[in-house]
Structure formats: C-alpha cells, structure tokens
Structure 1
Amino acid sequence: MRPRRIRGGRTTALAAALSLALAASIAAAQAQASPAGTPPTTRAAEPPHQYEVSGPATPAQRTALTATGASVDEVHARAVVITADRAQAALVRQLGYRLKKLPDPPRTPASSGRIKDFPDGYTKYHNYDEATKEIDTLVAKHPDILSKQVIGKSHEGRDILALKLSKNVTKDEKEPEVLFTAHQHAREHLTVEMALYLLNEFTSKYGSDDRITKMLDSREIWVIPDLNPDGGEFDISTGEFQMWRKNRQPNSGTNEVGTDLNRNWDFKWGCCNGSSDDPGDETYRGPSAASAPEVKVVSDFVRGRKVGGKQQITAAIDFHTYSELVLWPFGFTNDPTGPGMTQDEHDTFAAIGKKMAASNGYTPEQSSELYITDGAIDDWLWGDQRIFAYTFEMYPSSNGGGGFYPKDSVIPKETARNKDAVLQLLETADCPYRAIGKEGQYCKNKG
C-alpha cells in the first residue's frame, strides 16, 4: 500500500541532506545491533503493529523513515502511520520520533471455530478457494466472454490465474488490451474483492450496460485477481489477522520468510533507497529482481502479450489498500518525468489519473510525492513495457476506517466506487494521448 497524500513542494536540498543524515543514523543503529559478518536478526514471531509517528513532514523524511524496514501506510501533515515490528519501532524511536501504538486488527477467531478463514465480521471476503470457485462458476456461466488461464504457480504451488474478458474471448484479436492486477500485499484483501467485482460486473452487465458492452466488444481485458495467494492465506491462517504483507518464500541463510512483491519488479530494482535488503523487513526487495516466483509469473505473462515486438497491453491498474489514492510513475525518482518519460507522457499520466480520481474521490499524484520506492509494478510496467500503469489505493482513507481490515459491509460500495474509473481507463486505452489532445501526433488512425 501507499500513504495518504500530503500536498507540498518537491524535496529541497535541506530535506535531502536530512534524508542522508537519518539514513546514516539508521545504518549506525543497525550496525550496532548486528555486528559485521553476522546475519540479520530473526524477528519475533508476533505480528507487527501499526504506529502513528509524529514529525516526518517531507518526502525525504518519509523515505528515510522507510530505511528502518517499516512500511509507511498513511501520510498526514506532520505524521505518518507505519507498520513495524519491535526492532523497527525501536529504530524509529532512535531517530528521535515519538510513536503512538494504534489498535490492532481484530484477533477474535470465527465463532464457528474455523481456522484458515476470515473472522466474524469479515466472512463475506473470499479466501483463495472461495475466490477460485466463484471464478470457475463465472467462466462456466459466461464461456463466450470469459476465459481462465493458469499462468503459473505461487511459491507454495497455488495457481496464479489470468482471466480474459472479450466478445470473442477465444481469439487473440488486434484490440487494445488492459490489465488489472490485485493482492500483491497479503493483508490487502479488499483488492481481491475488487477483482471479483470486475469479473461479475462485466459478465452480468454485458449486453445491457452500453459502456461495458462497447468495451468488451472492442478491448481485451485481463484480470489477475490474486498475485499473492500464499501470503493471503497465511494472513488468515489462524482465523485471526496476522498483519502479513509479503509472500511466503523462505530467505536463504535466515529464518525470515517473504519478499515484498511490490519491491521485486525488474525496473530500477534496489536503485534508490526505496526498498530494504534485510529479509526481516516489511519492504524486503528479495535477493535479485523478479526473484519472487509470483513476480516472475506475471512478468512473463505481460511480456508474452507482445506481438511482433509491440506490447498489446496499453494501460493497467494495480489495486492496493489503503489511503484512497490514484498514483502513477515514477516512484524511484522525484523528477516529474524521470529518465524514460517525456513531458507529454507525464502529462498524459496526470490527465488520465486526475480524471479517474475525480470519479472515485481519491487523491491523484505521482507516487514519489509520498516517498521513494523502487522495484514497484507500475514503474516496471511503464519503464520496461511502456504501459500506462496506475496504482489505486482503495478504501479506507485512514486507519480509523479499518486500515487494512475494513469490515465486509463496505465491499459492495467500495468496489463499485471504482467502476467509472476502470471504464475511463478502458475507453482511453486505444489512444491514451487523447487525454491531452495529442491523438493526431501519437496515435495512427485515431480521430
């Protein structure tokens, strides 16, 4: 997930210097805790907690804060909310910040005594088996417009699915393709519901909803509903939420488990202090780019959509929770364009992003305005594949609304809330530059 937006200027020289000083302090503290030549300390078994941290107010300060290995979940005027274990929280305190522990997610198991499932108040969320069964039912009911492919396996051997929606679903036509992905981070279960909503909405409304019908008639839509099935299942493995973020891949040489999938993509991987090299950290980027099997599976799938060297996928949304944001590349640099992006491309990203945000009430911005990240999917989709890729941070806007674990009563409203934004992206997918009035310059045969 990403934090909530705070408006303000770009990183100044003073803020950059502060970032370096804070990073140096963190490095010194970590070195003191783990002498040279010793492996990273194994984290305690208890789940991490969320804390409100008073003080960080600039992108540079927030970027330095992530060097502790904590994840930044929300951003406010002069405070942030982080997820951290005890060691990471201690490092944050050593930087001089005051921490306030926030309430933990519900830890009352389901009244039926179930394990490996959602607790009471969350039973309308789909676990992996339930989601798979619902998908199979939809495919059987709508075989003319919906198909399923198993594109690979997770670390623990679960199927990673790609669903295709199109009028002639069995044919690979010369139509713009759009990709929707969900659930890179295990505790962000609302994103799976978002993917299921799209599958249900598009199949049930085809032929009756004019916009949906037109899009399935003229687009090829791909939905990958669960990039991190292992992590998601672990998060509910005891019938209580574990606040788990990463996948479940062991890390060689340590007792730590998991890679942050959204720091593992093969574009600017580990380049810019926007991820961690400590296997115990929330934002551990893995030993190498695309080392997580789930990232490799989806990367290979996307590359496989090239025909004659041209990528057929033109636009994408990766769904996360929480903070109600529409984000676009780049995350690895504060530069509004950055290497590999022209001003027109930036303006196109911003125009589409702002219009989508106007429809769902989210806040639009370039992701690095929050803090620096590297190895993220939207940076990879654009930087490597030239796909206009966005990250949506879904409901709620803050921890007070449930944070990563909003009650299941919000599912219908908060998934439907994104319908118009999704359709907007589909409608512009044939020529994104239409958003800035330059279709004649960039898109052949587009009027």
Structure 2
Amino acid sequence: MKLSTAIFQILLGPLALAGAVPKGESKITYGGYKAFRVATHNNPAAIKEKISKLSAVTYNIDNREHLDVAVPPQEIAAFEALKLEASVLHEDLGADIAKEGTVAAYEGVSAQAVPSLTWFNAYHAYADHVTFFSDLQAAFSNQSELVTAGTSFEGRTIFGIHLWGSGGKGSKPAVYYHGTVHAREWISTKVVEYIAYNLLTQYGTNTTVKAILDKYDFYILPVVNPDGFVYTQTTNRLWRKNRQTRSGQSCVGTDINRNWPYKWELTNGASTNACDETYKGLAAGDSPENKGLVAFTLGLKNSKGIKLFIDWHSYGQYILFPYGYDCSLKPANYALQSSLAAGTAARIKLSYGTSFTYGPSCSTLYATTGDSVDYLDSVGLAQYAWTIELRPTGSGTGGFVLPAAQILPTAIEQWEGQKYLLAAA
C-alpha cells in the first residue's frame, strides 16, 4: 500500500529513531581483536573444535574452505600457538571499525529536491535510511510509492519503495530486492539504495534505464532486519540475526534467512541451537520479519509475478542461484541462469576488476535450509532467484567492515551488472 511521507514516519514510531545502547548492555568495540581467515581443508568441524576453548567470534560461515574468526587480544597468542593455516583479515578489528567511518548524519532535502549522491559517501543510521527513501520518493512521486512489508520483533517497520515506468504502477512483473537481512552486512543496504536512486534519476535521460523501468516494476526493501541493523550501530557491529527473544531461551535472535517456510525442516543447512548464528527458529516462518516478508512476496507472486529476486549480502563475491538445501539439485533453467550469471559477473568486472564466482548455492558455497532464494524459486515462482554476496573476498580486505570509501565503487559495479542482467533477462 502507498503511504504519505508523514504517515510513513509516524508508523515507524520512536523505536525507529532509537540510537542509544540498549539498557543493561555495553557497546562492544572490538579494540585489539585480531581477525583471521583459517583454512579448513574441507573439515571445518576440526577447526571449530581446536578454537572452541577460545572466546573467538566466528563471523563468516563457510563450511568448506575457510572460517573467519575474530580473536580477543588476550587470546591471540593462544590462537597462534594452534599453528593453524591462517591469514590476517584485521590486525586490529576495532581500529578498522573506526576507520569504516562514523555513522553520518543525513540532513535531508527541501521539498521535491533529489537527495545528493553524497549519501553514498558514508554509512547512516536506520532512521536516516527511512528519510532518504522518503525524500527520494517525494522527488519522483509520479513514478514511486513507499511500501511496507510488516513489522520487526521490536516494532520497526520493514520499509521499501516501489518504482514503475510506462503503463503505471503494478502493471509489469516484479524485480524484487532485499538488503540487510543479516544485520552486519551494511554495504547491501547502500547497493540497493544506489540502484533505486539511479533507476529514478536516470529514467528521463538514459535509454537503457528507461527500457528497464518500463519493463519491470521494482520493489526494493533496503533493511529487512531493522532491529539487528540498529543493534549493529548501537552495540555490536558484528551482530547477524534479528533481536527476537523466546521464552525459555537465554540467547537472542533468529537468522531470518534460515526461517523461510520452505525446506525449513531439513537438517545440515541451519542450526537448532538458539545461540548459533544460523539459528532457524522454533517453526518455519515464525519470526515476525519473515511473516511480513512472506506476505509481501506472495502479494507480488499473485499480482504480475516475480521476474527476478535478489537477496543482497556480504561478503565473498558470489552470484548464487538455487538450490541451497540440496547440493545435487539444479534449477530447471540452470543453463540460462548460468549464462546470465556469467554475463553479470563479466559486466561487474569491467568497472574495477572485481571478480565474482557463480553457481548453485549449495554446491558453490554451502548448504542452507529455509532460505529466501529457495522459497522465492519454489513457492514465489520467481523466474530467477539469486543471492549476491558483495565485496570483499576476505583476506586483507575488510570482511564485513568495508570502509566507506568502498561504498560507491561497490554500488557502481553492481549497478552496471544489474543493467546487463535486467536487459538480458
């Protein structure tokens, strides 16, 4: 549904504007932590066992080739004594978080003015992302509307924007983007915002962009895990899950991208331990965020259908398509998806030389169950359902903590890739 800017802000409420550290918690600075990429040689369980007695924070989940861990300063010597095959991601994780840039203030724009591209020079607070989309929509009110896809556990609105070209709103198949399902993956928010920005600002001057926006309706949700996103800015930069609490459980959070109600019940692609990063929840689709996203998705399916879905993540530089739950399966249009992914990767590389690996999710990276791509493919009936893992690849390049100077290059190369994909699909 369409919302006026004023009503949209009211619905977000005071929780959307909260910037303080939650009561009873201290901000984790990661000062002096050293982050390593550890080679697993396809035996991650053995590596996890070796580091299990340390207070290391595992912050990239790769079940085949490597494990990324942040080690507190008092345990670095003990970690190094394990003699693991490792390279350094961060000499001082806390210092690199500081270099990533403080969360910048957004001053907004005057009525009907287009937000400045300087928005993409820094990271911003959740409330400012809401305002940015409101300002962008107001500047192009004849081609866009603000939309919502439910409410988070803590009461924040999952907001987005709907864009259209000729034929009017809702007249074309959907291109559907999710950003920041995993809270610490800040760059994904900026990338989908950059795509929305360019679709609107270039529509009247760029024939390629006009053709794309005349061909599809776009539904872009930049922060589908708002509670977790806020928590990464107030308390713990490396938080991944939502902030859902459950009776009888001391650990907080569900991985929204292991909670989709498709193949959720299978094992080995998610965790049943509430303390784990990939905790799947108690039942399929039982997180508030997933309930809203499922309803929104089915609304698109039942309207004009979904041409393309992309769940944007970081990091690793991958283009992944179904399936996550079974490494032996490939989608019926596998050859076409592979061709499109190859062309997209080639177009991305033209901008800055950034290389992307592509293929089915499970066999290319690792098994996942209850994930968005498998749901969108099999239930949402999207013709193409992808995950794109953004910069960097890992070692020596920052992991989740991507410097603000890399926001625009990351967004630009993905915009170029999307122009190719959307024209070719």
Report the TM-score range of the alignment, normalised by the length of the smaller protein: 0.7 to 0.9
Cα displacement (A) at 1:399: 4.0
Which among 358, 381, 388 is matched to residue 386 of structure 1? 381
Structure 1 CA distance, aligned partners of 2:286 and 2:416?
35
2:416 corresponds to: 420
Match of 1:149 in 2: 147
SS of equivalent residue, structure 2 residue 285: coil
The answer to whether the aligner puts 1:249 opposite 2:236 as a matched pair is no
User: Does 2:199 match 1:188?
Assistant: no
Q: Relative to structure 1, is the Cα distance of residues 326 and 199 closer, same or farther in structure 2, using a 3 angstrom cutoff?
A: same
Q: 1-side partners of 2:46 and 2:322: how far apart?
A: 20
Matches within 5 A, 1:81-92: 81-83=67-69
CA contact 1:109–1:115 (8 Å) conserved in 2: no
Map of 1:313 onto structure 2: 306
Aligned residue pairs, count: 360
| Candidates 284, 287, 299, aligned match of 1:289 | 284
Give the structure 2 partner of residue 237 of structure 1: 234
For 1:271-286, what aligned pairs fall within 5 Å after superposition? 271-286=266-281
1:214 maps to a residue whose letter is A
> What residue is the counterpart of 1:354 in the other structure?
342
Equivalent position amino acid for 1:371 in 2? Y
CA contact (8 A) 2:169 2:217 kept: no
Given the superposition, is the C-alpha separation of residues 74 and 273 from structure 1 closer, same or farther in structure 2, using an over 3 Å criterion? closer
Rounded Cα–Cα distance in structure 2 between residues aligned with 1:176 and 1:265: 22
Aligned to 2:4: none
SS of 2:94's equivalent? Answer: coil
Find the counterpart in structure 1 of residue 320 from structure 2.
327
Distance across 2 between alignment mates of 1:153 and 1:143: 24
Aligned to 1:410: 406
| Residue aligned with 2:234, SS | coil
Give SS of 1:299's match.
helix
CA gap of 1:251–1:420, structure 2 versus 1, over 3 A, is same
Mapping 1:170-181, distance limit 5 Å: 171-173=169-171, 175-181=172-178
Say if 1:270 and 1:285, in contact at 8 Å, map to a contact too. Answer: no
Cα distance, 1:374–1:74 mapped onto 2, change above 3 Å: closer
8 Å CA contact retained: 2:96, 2:401: no
2:366 and 2:48 map into 1 onto residues whose CA distance is 9
Partners of 2:97 and 2:316 in 1: CA distance: 27
The code of the aligned residue for 1:398 comes to G
Aligned to 2:122: 124
The 1:373–1:74 alpha-carbon spacing in structure 2 relative to 1, beyond 3 Å, is closer
| TM-score (ref. length: structure 1) | 0.72
Q: TM-score, normalised by structure 2?
A: 0.75
Post-superposition shift, 1:152? 1.4
* CA 1:257–1:399: 2 relative to 1, 3 Å: farther
Offset at residue 84 of structure 1 (A): 7.4
Gaps of 5+ in 2: 1-25, 107-119, 349-354
Relative to 1, partners in 2 of residues 1:413 and 1:116: Cα closer, same or farther, differing over 3 Å? closer
Deviation digits for residues 318-358 of structure 1 (CA, Å, limit 9, x no counterpart): 11011111111111111142xxx43xx22222121121111
Structure 2 letter corresponding to 1:142:
F
Cα gap change, 1:97/1:257 in structure 2, threshold over 3 Å: closer, same or farther? farther
Q: Which amino acid aligns with 1:406?
A: L
Change in CA separation of 1:262 and 1:177 when aligned onto 2, cut-off 3 Å: same
Which residue number in structure 2 is paired with residue 207 of structure 1?
A: 204
- Amino acid of the residue matched to residue 248 of structure 1? R
Deviations 1:56-102 (A, max 9, x none): 233xx3589789995644688xx51334799xx9xxx9xx9947585
Alignment of structure 1 residues 69-88 onto 2, 5 Å:
72-73=60-61, 79-83=65-69
Change (3 A) 1:288 1:150: same
Shift of 1:270: 3.9
Residue of structure 2 equivalent to 1:57: 41
- C-alpha distance 70-272 of structure 1, shift in aligned 2 (>3 A): farther
CA distance in 2, matches of 1:358, 1:258: 37
CA contact (8 A) 1:315 1:389 kept: yes
Residues 417 and 132 (structure 1), Cα distance of their counterparts in 2 relative to 1, 3 Å cut = same
Helix, strand or coil at the partner of 1:199? helix
Aligned partner of residue 312 in structure 2, secondary structure: strand
1:29-48 counterparts in 2 under 5 A? none
How far does the alpha carbon of each residue in 1:219-278 deviate from its partner, in whole angstroms, 9 at most, with x for none? 11111111111111101104xx53101111113212211111111111111413111111
- Aligned-pair CA distance for 1:427: 2.4
In the alignment, does 2:153 pair up with 1:165? no
| Distance change (3 Å), C-alpha of 1:108 and 1:212 | closer
Report the counterpart of residue 304 of structure 1 in structure 2: 299
Q: Give unpaired runs (5+ residues) of structure 1.
A: 1-43, 430-447
Give the 3 Å change call, closer, same or farther, for CA 204–171 of structure 1 in structure 2: closer
Does the 8 A contact of 1:315 with 1:425 survive in 2?
A: no
Amino acid aligned to 2:373: D
* Aligned equivalent of 1:365: 359
Change (3 A) 1:352 1:198: same
1:163–1:222 contact (8 Å) kept in structure 2: yes
Question: Aligned-pair distance for 1:202?
Answer: 1.0
Moved more, 214-223 or 186-195: 214-223
Change in CA separation of 1:45 and 1:138 when aligned onto 2, cut-off 3 Å: closer
Residue 216 of structure 1: aligned partner: 213
Change (3 A) 1:319 1:382: same
